[in-house]
Structure 1
């Protein structure tokens, strides 16, 4: 290489180092959005950069551009990349790095990409970026090891989906800033937690960070143009501006609490005091939620609901599969149920489902760990619990059962990435001292929409009693039981 060519190449690299936006345009044809340009311009001059973002503004793509800029314009740099999970890192940031590499002849010629490592072809041992993760069961020391022990003159730590990344990981990155010529931390994520690195960078450590806040608010002139205005307005209209999911994913704002109770005691108490007339629910489909006991101290629960009225459930202990199926079948036949949802998580409800099928019924097996129909939710459990909570808040009537109130008020939720996740049953059982079987039976009635029955001739006697006192499963013992509809009479 002639001295003129070498000088020209060096001049170009210096220009790219001082102006990452120029690098992005000339290497990748990348034209940044206004907020992305702000980050690109800040990158050479700040040791710590944080992006607090709504859903989908292009933050992972920008992280990739910054990584390639650091690799291309610093001598013998080291870049350590991590994310909230190994899958998230592999499917998100690491795949994005490969995409941009393939868009640039210069980068593709200079660097090799593998599933866990990127390295300069001329200096593979000393000029690289690596993908680093921790195991699901890792303790704080093991988490810290993810980024620990790295030192170099030019060192960059990149944390994607940082909202849920443990503090120990960030502490290891901070330690890496103690030496070197140019050392940096860049992180980006959704504001899902009121703790952790992103929260501190947005609050008490704000003075240490160049913080870029990215919103999809359709009424904000500085909103990310990559967020569909129609989608954002639909989410706001459907769930409300104060909904935690909307706050995080549309507005890019922290929720009121990172770990929320799904329902408060006042909301549940009001639902248990609520009285409905029969004509307020009689047009709706009759549904049975069947929670099957997993262990000897758990309860089998058959929970009936019709529209906005939920009725007193049947609770059975230590019964065989066929006995539970008999109770469900009898309730379904005498009450005229239009849908039976059986908890099939872990295979415990399979025998009940098979027995009901043999009896001529058409139960729907539901896995709490299964995929939700709505992508807002982490799994089916979260979806059903949120649907049930919205039902309570809209005016649903619950039977007055103290244990049910305690269970519903014990359910908490948080965020897994950008999805709402409800606390697992095992954790709730540890806190309560027993399994939340009543709550699970109730929310099973929200597993799937069932079309209401066609209108029929008038039949049942209407009474002035609360809808939740109506009992489609239990035999009434009171003197006035004859005036109550009883499927076993």
Structure 2
């Protein structure tokens, strides 16, 4: 059985940088070296940084260093989500074990723990997601290293057992993450409790690992004064007051822009159905994803009436000879499901009747008919998140962000002309956003907006639905 030569490794006990260079075969940059040296010298180290500066590599190198230079160590590692812990940090550890013939012979990597061969129960690093209340409890050893990744997103009560263990002289703590929150244990380590820690601030603009293209894209899309830039690039905490997701000047500019006069080939209709008495149901049509027509606003939530109004809008736009396709997207989180069901029921009949009329007209005029397609989509605010486009540098926490992000991008690039409506400008420009613990954009909830005196953004939501292209499963079958 392969074993590790502890005596040989003890020369690296206070030199994680040398261990990384000679045993792992990696070359840390200046910021990474400083962080590693701090962990060797200090009990508690806290690092706030922008995105992509190589902190996962630092954490993985330190796990392997601590595992190899101390007898019977325990290294609890945690992060807010399984993705952050298993897909990023744990995968990074596996990569560097494979990179070193020495480590590959003596270290065993599994999905849950990394350990010295023959010592799975007593000489290990373990992955524990921070969503579990006891994630960091029950670890007792002379040598303990706690690794807290994306620490800004870890609840404060998860740190209580860590503080208890740090009374042991051989215990150490490393916290790293984007500084996404203005409260909590991680924030305090850089503010009111800073004297207790060795702290680092790594600005992505000063890291050779962060591409200038990434920085330029963030600046172009969100601005240097935005929280996205502060958190994702400069590694600073957000401002005290949240940013508006869509700047008012963009909304005003695109509400006053010249309206194109060409006939459309495609119509997208967003339907937001009121769920509460003071909300409005809105039908928002957009031509060719470039020109918003006047939305229809109804102050009631009778689903059959809203379905009827939507069908009337479909037939009105289908009467434009150049229109080849209409896509209707309905918010189905509440009463909208009734509107969706009715339109799905009527879809084929509506489509066929429009095509019949076009064929009759074409025969009379001795021309070829323009074929017509009608699609009806079920949409959900708060569904799965993602990015607006493959090259978008920031992900959204849920589909609300993706929908609104689509509108934001169109306004930023000036490809969408809005119907001039002060209510819509107010709704679009008054919704705030924050950066969650995973570095994803999260839009303000409607309940929070109402507490600030902002009405439900029904018109803006309908526009977001119209501009959104729902992801459809390849295997779905139309009956």
Q: Shorter-normalised TM-score: what interval?
A: 0.7 to 0.9
- Equivalent residue runs for 1:16-415 within 5 Å: 16-135=12-131, 143=133, 145-178=134-167, 180-217=168-205, 223-257=206-240, 259-262=242-245, 267=248, 276=256, 279-282=258-261, 288-293=268-273, 300-305=281-286, 307=290, 311-315=294-298, 317-320=301-304, 322-333=307-318, 340-343=327-330, 348=337, 349=340, 351-352=342-343, 355-356=346-347, 358-360=349-351, 361-363=373-375, 365=377, 366-368=379-381, 369-370=383-384, 371-374=386-389, 375=392, 376-378=394-396, 379-388=398-407, 398-401=420-423, 405=426, 409=430, 412-415=433-436
1:10, distance to aligned residue in structure 2 (A): 4.8
Tell me the distance in 1 between the aligned counterparts of 2:33 and 2:153.
26
Which deviates more, 107-116 or 357-366? 357-366
Contact 2:106-2:117 within 8 A present in 1 as well: yes
Q: Secondary structure at the match of 2:176?
A: strand
Task: Pick from 397, 413, 422 the counterpart of residue 443 of structure 2.
Answer: 422
Change (3 A) 1:196 1:396: farther
Change (3 A) 1:47 1:248: same
Aligned to 1:459: none
Q: Secondary structure at the match of 1:359?
A: helix
Deviations 1:42-65 (A, max 9, x none): 221111112212111211111000
Tell me the distance in 1 between the aligned counterparts of 2:47 and 2:263.
47
Which deviates more, 34-43 or 420-429? 420-429
1:22, distance to aligned residue in structure 2 (A): 1.0
Tell me the distance in 1 between the aligned counterparts of 2:154 and 2:268.
40
1:438, distance to aligned residue in structure 2 (A): 3.1
Change (3 A) 1:39 1:300: same
1:79, distance to aligned residue in structure 2 (A): 0.9
Q: Give the CA RMSD over aligned residues.
A: 3.7
Aligned to 1:445: 466
Contact 1:271-1:398 within 8 A present in 2 as well: no
Tell me the distance in 2 between the aligned counterparts of 1:204 and 1:283.
60
Deviations 1:115-158 (A, max 9, x none): 112222233322121111244xxxxxx63x21123232111111
Tell me the distance in 1 between the aligned counterparts of 2:221 and 2:444.
24
TM-score, length-scaled by structure 1: 0.74
Tell me the distance in 2 between the aligned counterparts of 1:51 and 1:328.
55
Q: Secondary structure at the match of 1:212?
A: strand
Change (3 A) 1:345 1:259: farther
Contact 1:259-1:414 within 8 A present in 2 as well: no
Contact 2:113-2:127 within 8 A present in 1 as well: yes
Task: Count matched residues.
Answer: 425
Q: Secondary structure at the match of 1:290?
A: strand
Which deviates more, 182-191 or 369-378? 369-378
Q: Which structure 1 residue ranges, 5 or more long, are not aligned? A: 1-5, 136-141, 218-222, 450-489
Change (3 A) 1:302 1:357: farther
Tell me the distance in 2 between the aligned counterparts of 1:309 and 1:60.
45
TM-score, length-scaled by structure 2: 0.76
Deviations 1:80-134 (A, max 9, x none): 1111112221101111111212222332333322211222223332212111124
1:69, distance to aligned residue in structure 2 (A): 0.8
Tell me the distance in 2 between the aligned counterparts of 1:38 and 1:275.
51
